[in-house]
């Protein structure tokens, strides 16, 4: 349903060029949840912003994406206007910053309904109330008249979700949707995301730094590091038999309830791998070639792929 091809995002500053995302390609089917995992600076959020056409204007974007049978080029920003909010829904990390503090939450959710679906304000309000109670924002009839600051963080994120799914988008992009929330609220939001994908056979792009969240929800996983995809596979493949040393490091670093941390303490201080593998400077197994050449993406069995010299 969604296929992204050779996405590249560059920022140029005076005399230096910074590649935030380099040659990233992936696809998502309807009803599928694709998890993108990586640390800050891995380019995962930039990828999400590119898909919604919300990148800052100084970013240079290349590549194309085909979405719902239409091919669009990232260079042309105008194509996203009609899609955003109607066919692509977006949920960001910080709901307090995304919601307009001067408008009631009900109005903010009704807005895309009026804009994209052509509902009358009255119809939109009815639909908003229905959405609110479906997402557990109770009592819905009163909640629509509240302002964002009157709601808790979890409720605000539900409102964001309501606005994102109001027009029943085929693609939902959630960028760190639960990072600022308590574990209990996180579980509730993840459940709602899962329900939406399941009930509407929509696709979900779930971006998170938390492997736990990804493992709970995703079908397919992309592991990103330094703007490239270092590993891709099904959630079982990635979590149980990680191949790339970066994926292994991420998994080993995650504090678990059942086992104490066993850390491979590696940081190859002072190593620079300009033009080489993005992970070489932190890789415990690096060799000379890793510092010089970018590893090619190897396709393995069962749709799995990884980019590493030493495998």
Partner 1 sequence: MAKLLKVKNVAYYYTAEGTRIRAVDGVSLSLPAGKALGLVGESGSGKSTLGKLIAGLLKPQRGCIYFAGERIEGKMLPSIQYVFQNSTAALNPRMRVKNLIEEGLIIQGKYRRQQRINRVLTALKAVGLPETLLYRFPHELSGGQKQRVAIARALIMDPRLLILDEPVSSLDVTAGARLLALLKSLRQEKHLAYILISHDLAVVRQVCDYVAVMYAGKIVERGKVEQIFSSPGHYYTKMLLSAHPSPDPKRRCLPKIIGEPVDPSHIPAGCRFHPRCPQATFACSHRPPAFFEITPGHLVACHRTQTQIF
Partner 2 sequence: MEAKNAGNTEFLIGISLIIILSALALLAPLLAAHDPYETDAQNWLQPPCKEHPFGTDRLGRDIFSRVLYGARVSLAVGTLSMLMSVAIGFLLGMAAGYFGGVLDGLIMRFTDIVLVFPSMLLVLTLVAIFEPALWLVIFVIGGTGWPGVARLVRGEVLQLRTKEFIQSARMLGANHFRIMLYHLLPNALGPVLVAATLSVPAAVMTEAGVSYFGLGIQPPIPTWGNMLRGAQLYLRHAWWYAFFPGLFIFLTVFAFHLTGEGLRKQLGLTRVRRRG
- C-alpha gyration radius of the chain: 20
Least distance from partner 1 to the Cβ atom of residue 251, Å: 6
Note whether 58 binds partner 2 by CB under 8 A.
yes
Residues listed for the chain: 311
Least distance from partner 1 to the Cβ atom of residue 253, Å: 3
Residue 13 contacts which entry, partner 2, partner 1, none (Cβ below 5-8 A, type-dependent): partner 2
Residue 240 contacts which entry, partner 1, partner 2, none (Cβ below 5-8 A, type-dependent): partner 1
Q: What DSSP state is assigned to residue 160?
A: H
- The residue among 241 and 298 lying less far from partner 1, judged by its C-beta, is 241
Least distance from partner 1 to the Cβ atom of residue 182, Å: 4
Cβ atoms 39, 209 nearer than 8 A: yes
Q: What DSSP state is assigned to residue 147?
A: -
Residue 274 contacts which entry, partner 1, partner 2, none (Cβ below 5-8 A, type-dependent): none
Q: Which of 218, 298, 229 is nearest to 6 (CA)?
A: 229
Helices (H), 33-91: 44-52
Residue 269 contacts which entry, partner 1, partner 2, none (Cβ below 5-8 A, type-dependent): partner 1
- The residue among 52 and 237 lying less far from partner 1, judged by its C-beta, is 237
Distance from C-alpha of 151 to C-alpha of 218, rounded to nearest angstrom: 29
- The residue among 4 and 207 lying less far from partner 1, judged by its C-beta, is 207
Least distance from partner 1 to the Cβ atom of residue 181, Å: 9
Binding site for partner 1 (CB under 8 A): 39-40, 152-155, 182-188, 190-191, 194, 209-217, 235-236, 239-240, 249-258, 260-261, 263, 265, 269
Contact set for partner 2, span 38-57 (CB under 8 A): 56-57
Cβ atoms 205, 172 nearer than 8 A: yes
Least distance from partner 2 to the Cβ atom of residue 52, Å: 15
Residue 152 contacts which entry, partner 2, partner 1, none (Cβ below 5-8 A, type-dependent): partner 1
Cβ atoms 37, 249 nearer than 8 A: no
Residue 4 contacts which entry, partner 2, partner 1, none (Cβ below 5-8 A, type-dependent): none
Residue 57 contacts which entry, partner 1, partner 2, none (Cβ below 5-8 A, type-dependent): partner 2
- The residue among 58 and 274 lying less far from partner 2, judged by its C-beta, is 58
Q: What DSSP state is assigned to residue 181?
A: S
Q: What DSSP state is assigned to residue 17?
A: E
Least distance from partner 2 to the Cβ atom of residue 13, Å: 7
Note whether 14 binds partner 2 by CB under 8 A.
yes
Size of the site for partner 2 (CB under 8 A): 5
Cβ atoms 40, 224 nearer than 8 A: no
Helices (H), the chain: 44-52, 95-98, 105-117, 121-134, 140-143, 153-165, 183-200, 211-217, 235-240, 245-253, 288-292
Least distance from partner 1 to the Cβ atom of residue 282, Å: 8
> Which tokens go with 88?
């692509």
Distance from C-alpha of 10 to C-alpha of 288, rounded to nearest angstrom: 27
Least distance from partner 2 to the Cβ atom of residue 97, Å: 15
Q: What is the dihedral of CA 301, 302, 307, 311, to 10 degrees?
A: -40
> Which tokens go with 267?
């940081």
Note whether 13 binds partner 2 by CB under 8 A.
yes
Q: Which of 292, 296, 272 is nearest to 282 (CA)?
A: 272
Please report, as ranges, the residues that interact with partner 2 according to CB under 8 A. Answer: 13-14, 56-58
């Amino acid at each position: 349903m969604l296929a992204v091809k050779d996405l590249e995002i560059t920022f140029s500053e005076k005399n230096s060029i910074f590649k935030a995302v380099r040659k990233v390609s992936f696809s998502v089917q309807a009803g599928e949840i694709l998890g993108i995992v990586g640390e800050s600076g891995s380019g995962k959020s930039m990828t999400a912003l590119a898909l919604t056409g919300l990148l800052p204007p100084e970013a240079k974007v290349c590549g194309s994406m085909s979405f719902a049978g239409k091919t669009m080029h990232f260079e042309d920003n105008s194509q996203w206007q009609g899609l955003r909010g109607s066919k692509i829904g977006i949920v960001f990390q910080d709901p307090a910053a995304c919601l307009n503090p001067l408008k009631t939450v009900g109005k903010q959710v009704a807005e895309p309904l009026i804009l994209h679906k052509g509902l009358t304000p009255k119809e939109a309000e009815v639909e908003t109330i229905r959405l609110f109670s479906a997402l557990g924002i109770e009592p819905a009839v009163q909640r629509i008249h509240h302002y964002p600051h009157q709601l808790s963080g979890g409720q605000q994120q539900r409102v964001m979700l309501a606005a994102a799914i109001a027009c029943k988008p085929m693609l939902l992009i959630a960028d760190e949707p639960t990072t600022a929330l308590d574990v209990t609220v996180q579980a509730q939001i993840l459940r709602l995301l899962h329900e939406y994908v399941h009930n509407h056979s929509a696709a979900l792009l779930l971006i998170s730094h938390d492997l736990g969240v990804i493992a709970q929800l995703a079908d397919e996983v992309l592991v990103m590091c330094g703007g490239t995809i270092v590993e891709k596979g099904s959630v079982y493949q990635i979590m149980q038999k990680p191949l790339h040393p970066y994926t292994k490091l991420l998994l080993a670093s995650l504090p678990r309830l059942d086992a104490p941390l066993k850390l491979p303490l590696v940081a190859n201080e002072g190593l620079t791998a300009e033009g080489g593998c993005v992970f070489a400077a932190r890789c415990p197994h690096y060799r000379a070639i890793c510092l010089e050449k970018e590893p090619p993406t190897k396709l393995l069995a069962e749709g799995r792929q990884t980019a590493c010299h030493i495998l």
